[in-house]
């Protein structure tokens, strides 16, 4: 507890106010249980979403402590032998989330970006998928486009998820059959619903801030979307669809991991949208491989089949086949 008090003393004014409400996850969950239940429809995962919501906010506070201070950028080799950037903020947020989830739900499996993966989770029906900071590059660039992502998958399907952007103090959350909700800067929670746009010329694409591949340029040229919002973090971009600020998001490469999509998927689904791979097949979680090998298509749902159909000749042109 002394560690969190020490960290809290270093927060910015907004983070101090946030932290004062979050000294203990267990006590906070009990104290605010009634107010949360007024805003979230009852579901089989009520306790899970309450715990995950509080954890995301506390972890976000840890990220902000580092974000507004000098920090060291390191290199790591991930589970797929890829070289990636990592910071102490990633590791500290990861440790908090994982340790608390183990206390709250000791029988569940865990797959977290900054934790060693084991075979234990493969025997579990319920598995938490955690990205303590989706958008580390954006964190390093200090552009605000990073998020804490905590998702729960049951028998391979996403059923509950939280995505929290600490710089903007925006939190998305959803549980199956409970709707998708946004909490923005201490405002009352509001339900999110996707758009109904189906014509590419009327649609807004959520895309990455990073340099775009020639294949992605080809896709944009073929679809001729109305506009484009370039943002970091998978969760942030999919959240834009749930908010009706965008209508679709495409990720052609196999570089995203299951923890990148588990929480955002249920949020989008409960807002009326849909997520699949590039070939229209469902995303599955807690597999032996942790990458989304066939890419991602996330849409408002109404346009999903159109997007999948129009991608087919492009994927053939690229020599892309499902694996």
pLDDT category of residue 43 using cuts at 50, 70 and 90: low
166-181 pLDDT tens trace: 999 999 999 999 999 9
pLDDT recorded at residue 28? 39
249-294 pLDDT tens trace: 999 999 899 999 999 999 999 999 999 999 999 999 999 999 999 9
pLDDT recorded at residue 229? 95
Burial of 239-255, coded b for 16+ CB within 10 Å and e otherwise, reads bbbbbbebbbbbbbebe
pLDDT recorded at residue 39? 43
- Choice among 22-36, 164-178, 290-304 with the minimum mean pLDDT: 22-36
- DSSP for 268-283, written as a single string: HHHTT-EEE-TTSPPP
Q: Which residues make beta-bridge pairs with 204?
A: 227
Q: CA 92 to CA 113: how far, in whole Å?
A: 12
**Closest residue by Cα to residue 160 from 175, 179, 147:** 175
Predicted confidence (pLDDT) at residue 24 exceeds the cutoff of 70: no
H or E stretch at 141? helix 136-141
For the entire predicted model, the pTM comes to 0.86
pLDDT recorded at residue 20? 41
102 to each of 116, 268, 285, how far by Cα in Å?
A: 14, 27, 19
DSSP at 291? B
Taken in order 265, 161, 140, 16, the sign of the CA dihedral is: positive
C-beta separation of 128 from 151 below 8 A? yes
Q: CA 228 to CA 205: how far, in whole Å?
A: 5
C-beta separation of 265 from 249 below 8 A? no
44-83 pLDDT tens trace: 899 999 999 999 999 999 999 999 998 988 888 776 677 8
pLDDT category of residue 4 using cuts at 50, 70 and 90: very low
Q: Exposed, middle or buried: residue 6 (CB in 10 Å: 0-12, 13-18, 19+)?
A: exposed
* First-to-final CA distance of the chain: 47
pLDDT recorded at residue 249? 98
H or E stretch at 231? strand 227-231
Domain annotation for the chain: domains and CATH numbers: 2-191 (3.30.540.10), 200-317 (3.40.190.80)
pLDDT recorded at residue 212? 84
- Choice among 18-22, 89-93, 264-268 with the minimum mean pLDDT: 18-22
DSSP at 189? P
Angle (CA) 269 275 280, round 5°: 135
């Amino acid at each position: 507890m002394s560690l969190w008090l020490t960290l809290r003393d270093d927060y910015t004014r907004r983070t101090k106010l946030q932290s004062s409400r979050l000294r203990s996850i267990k006590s906070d969950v009990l104290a605010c249980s009634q107010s949360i239940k007024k805003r979230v429809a009852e579901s089989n995962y009520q306790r899970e979403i309450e715990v995950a919501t509080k954890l995301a906010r506390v972890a976000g506070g840890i990220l902000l402590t580092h974000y507004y201070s000098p920090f060291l950028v390191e290199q790591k080799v991930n589970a797929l032998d890829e070289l990636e950037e990592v910071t102490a903020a990633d590791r500290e947020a990861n440790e908090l989330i994982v340790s608390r989830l183990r206390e709250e739900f000791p029988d569940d499996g865990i797959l977290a970006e900054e934790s060693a993966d084991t075979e234990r989770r493969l025997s579990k029906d319920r598995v938490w998928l955690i990205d303590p900071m989706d958008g580390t590059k954006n964190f390093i660039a200090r552009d605000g486009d990073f998020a804490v992502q905590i998702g729960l998958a049951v028998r391979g399907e996403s059923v509950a998820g939280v995505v929290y952007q600490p710089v903007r103090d925006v939190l998305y959350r959803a549980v199956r059959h409970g709707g998708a909700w946004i909490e923005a800067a201490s405002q009352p929670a509001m339900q999110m619903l996707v758009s109904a746009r189906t014509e590419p010329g009327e649609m807004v694409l959520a895309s990455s801030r990073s340099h775009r591949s020639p294949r992605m340029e080809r896709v944009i040229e073929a679809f001729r979307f109305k506009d484009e919002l370039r943002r970091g973090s998978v969760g942030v971009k999919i959240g834009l669809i749930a908010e009706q600020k965008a209508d679709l998001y495409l990720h052609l490469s196999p570089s995203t991991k299951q923890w990148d999509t588990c929480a955002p998927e249920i949020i989008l689904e409960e807002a009326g949208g849909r997520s699949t791979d590039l070939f229209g097949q469902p995303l599955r979680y807690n597999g032996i491989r942790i990458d989304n090998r066939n890419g991602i298509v996330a849409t408002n749902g109404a346009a999903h089949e159109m997007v999948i159909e129009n991608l087919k000749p492009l994927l053939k042109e690229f020599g892309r086949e499902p694996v």
